[in-house]
Amino acid sequence: MAPIKKLNATNFIRRSPIRRCASASGSAPANDSAKDVRVRCASDGVVGCGRGAAGSDTSVLGEALCTTTPSCIAWANSCYDTTARRPRRWRPSAKQTPSVVVSGTSSEWESSTVTEQIPAVIVKTDGRKRRWHQHKVERRNELVDGTIEAIRRHGRYLSMDEIAAEIGVSKTVLYRYFVDKNDLTTAVMRRIAQTTLIPNMAAALSSNLDGIDLTRAVIRVYVDTVANEPEPYRFVMANSSASKSKVIADSERIIARMIAVMLRRRMEQAGMDTGGAEPWSYLIVGGVQLATHSWMSNPRMSRDELIDYLTMLSWNALCGIVEVGGSLEKFREEPHPSPIVPPRES
């Protein structure tokens, strides 16, 4: 076996006549014996790179090390058996499908499908780094969960010293995983969104509910998530950092796009114009978020009343959209007289 050849500070490549893991479509130019080869991961970009003999069945284009993202590491493990230290056949998944991109000075050649012409780069990761990264992620989540429990019990005004004491660790441990209190606060917001808000919203949108029941269910998910966690919510909203604002914006964007997908699908089935699905979704999400925030600050009505008021507005807006088939042109052409106000009851 040839010695390891150093590419740069973090990536190493070893040439050896080992079995191919995947191949790229087409065939490489016959005269190009050495090409720059990259394995592109559909979700994370370039995974690794190496040098090898393009088009050769007996030589491997390379094994590149990439530990930049967890999904890249997962992809590498699906292609390379780090325990047995030998390659195994890679099977593409729906989430991540790599493509081999070959570029050279004499010609440009690119492919994104799998055939039997060129062996793909085998991506290998350092098992110790992967395990350490996973340990840090799990430990960080444990500290965030402990922080949420502490806030539930003692309120939103806890200091870092009090949070550390409640969790049972030193403040030094907290600062090992979080830059400052703002960083911890942002992590709390992200954790609640990832474990409660977004999964519950996805469940509501994929349910068998329809019409006004679905509208109410979607609104209830957000209101209940906030109302069931009053102290963690106030703890998060008291933080004015840019990172917290980004987490909130990211969560709203995810939910708005989920609603937009549902609207488009149902409107397409009815033969309606779907051009306004995205702005309508953002209007619903933003309106519900602001109304719920105001209600949390000054609850002048019950939770069910808030949900029904928001459902009233959202449902009637959706009915108006259906009346014009979602068409902006039709909406502009039709008259819009003021509604008749019912007489007061004496």
| Tens-digit pLDDT profile for residues 25-34 | 343 334 333 3
> For 218-232, how does the pLDDT look when each residue is reduced to its tens digit (9 = 90+)?
999 999 999 999 999
| Mean pLDDT, rounded, of the chain | 73
Count CB atoms within 10 A of the CB of residue 29: 15
For residues 301-317, average pLDDT = 97
Q: Are 322 and 269 in contact (CB under 8 A)?
A: no
> For 99-118, how does the pLDDT look when each residue is reduced to its tens digit (9 = 90+)?
333 333 333 333 333 333 33
- At residue 301, φ and ψ (nearest 5 deg) are -150, 170
Is the entire prediction scored with pTM above 0.75? no
Name 63's bridge partners.
122
Q: Are 331 and 324 in contact (CB under 8 A)?
A: yes
pLDDT at position 275 over 70: yes
Of 98-107, 239-248, 252-261, minimum mean pLDDT range = 98-107
pLDDT at position 269 over 50: yes
For residues 152-172, average pLDDT = 93
| pLDDT of 129 | 84
| pLDDT of 75 | 36
Higher pLDDT, 201 or 244: 201
Higher pLDDT, 8 or 298: 298
For residues 318-336, average pLDDT = 94
pLDDT at position 13 over 50: no
| pLDDT of 127 | 82
| Nearest Cα residue to 64 out of 111, 125, 112, 147 | 125
| pLDDT of 238 | 85
**Banded model confidence at residue 126, pLDDT cuts 50, 70, 90:** confident
Instruction: Tell me how far apart the alpha carbons of residues 318 and 58 are, in angstroms, rounded to a whole number.
Output: 62
pLDDT at position 325 over 50: yes
Q: Are 36 and 70 in contact (CB under 8 A)?
A: no
pLDDT at position 162 over 80: yes
| pLDDT of 14 | 37
Instruction: Tell me how far apart the alpha carbons of residues 330 and 336 are, in angstroms, rounded to a whole number.
Output: 11
Q: How far apart are the first and last CA of the chain?
A: 97
For residues 257-272, average pLDDT = 94
Domains defined for the chain, CATH in brackets:
5-125 (no CATH), 127-178 (1.10.10.60), 184-323 (1.10.357.10)
**Banded model confidence at residue 345, pLDDT cuts 50, 70, 90:** confident
| pLDDT of 124 | 56
| pLDDT of 130 | 86
| pLDDT of 338 | 92
For residues 159-163, average pLDDT = 93
pLDDT at position 155 over 70: yes
| pLDDT of 242 | 84
